[in-house]
Chain A
Amino acid sequence: QVQLQQSGPGLVKPSQTLSLTCAISGDSVSSNSAAWTWIRQSPSRGLEWLGRAYFRSKWYNDYAISVKGRITINPDTSKNHFSLQLNSVTPEDTAVYYCARDRSIPVAGSYYFGMDVWGQGTTVTVSS
């Protein structure tokens, strides 16, 4: 059974860096059939995909334009986890942050992605 366990601070000061980690059990961060993803949720923005890291012979990243330039998602193969760093945070970055596995699923000869395993969520408040 795959599980994701999030850790990191719930309070970050404006202009500082938000750092969260997602520990994976039951799967590998180097899996060729998954993308390791961060999503956040706030009343103003709803569910917002932030980005992902995935391994397909080499490592790739995709990021949302809304946070591009401020975000880094890094896999750590030695610890089997992945992390989120969001720089220069403002109160608008206040949200519940989730990590998720976006798994590639074969359906009728094609492959589709579905976020089938989620972390427990971390409420992050940006405030001085």
Chain B
Amino acid sequence: DIQMTQSPSSLSASVRDRVTITCRASQNIISYLNWFQQKPGKAPKLLIYAASSLQSGVPSRFSGSGSGTDFTLTISSLQPEDFATYYCQQSYSTPLTFGQGTKLEIK
């Protein structure tokens, strides 16, 4: 199985901050990497697919980059509704696997 490791596990930030979350795959997954946002009691929401493509309806302050084994999710200017848990997920091979999550909290 491909292991996905996110860092940090938690992060405190303020509104209008720029935030970066990192995801590392245990082997080369080219660009088969997705990012999700999850709020308490809700299903995950797809933000970014194919490492850097913005899902329809997602604000442009979200962006993704990377290829191979190292990927990043950047939120350029945090808004109050962005405080949530973020997950990466590889779609390169089954079993599809997720990172352990990064909880983004208000400072």
Within 8 A of A (CB), among B5-53: 31-32, 34, 36, 42-46, 49-50, 53
Is A49 among interface residues, defined by CB-CB distance under 8 A?
A: yes
Contact B43–A46 (Cβ < 8 Å):
no
Judge whether A11 is part of the interface by a CB distance below 8 angstroms.
Answer: no
Secondary structure of the A contact surface, majority rule: strand
Q: Interface residue count for A (Cβ, 8 Å)?
A: 23
Size category of the B interface is 20 to 34
Q: Does B91 contact A (CB under 8 A)?
A: yes
**Which residues of A lie under 8 Å from residue B98 when comparing CB positions?**
46-49
Smallest Cβ distance from B86 to chain A, in angstroms?
Answer: 12
Q: Which of B1, B43, B49, B89 is in CB contact (< 8 Å) with A105?
A: B49
Q: Is the CB of A64 within 8 A of B50?
A: no
Contact for B50 among A65, A112, A119, A121, CB less than 8 A: A112
Cβ A46 vs Cβ B91 within 8 A: no
Chain B proximity of A43: nearest CB distance (Å): 11
Let me know if B34 and A46 touch, CB within 8 A. no
- Chain A residues with a Cβ under 8 A of chain B: 46-49, 62, 64-66, 98, 100, 102, 105, 107, 110, 112-116, 118-121
Distance between Cα atoms of A5 and B95 in the complex (Å): 24
Whether the pair B43, A114 counts as a contact (CB closer than 8 A) is no
Instruction: Tell me whether A113 and B91 are in contact (CB under 8 A).
Output: yes
* Complex A-B, nearest 8 residue pairs according to Cβ-Cβ distance, in ascending order: A114-B49, A118-B43, A112-B50, A47-B98, A49-B96, A113-B91, A107-B50, A64-B95
Write the nearest CB–CB distance from B97 to chain A, whole angstroms. Answer: 7
B44 partner residues in chain A, CB cutoff 8 A: 47, 98, 115, 118
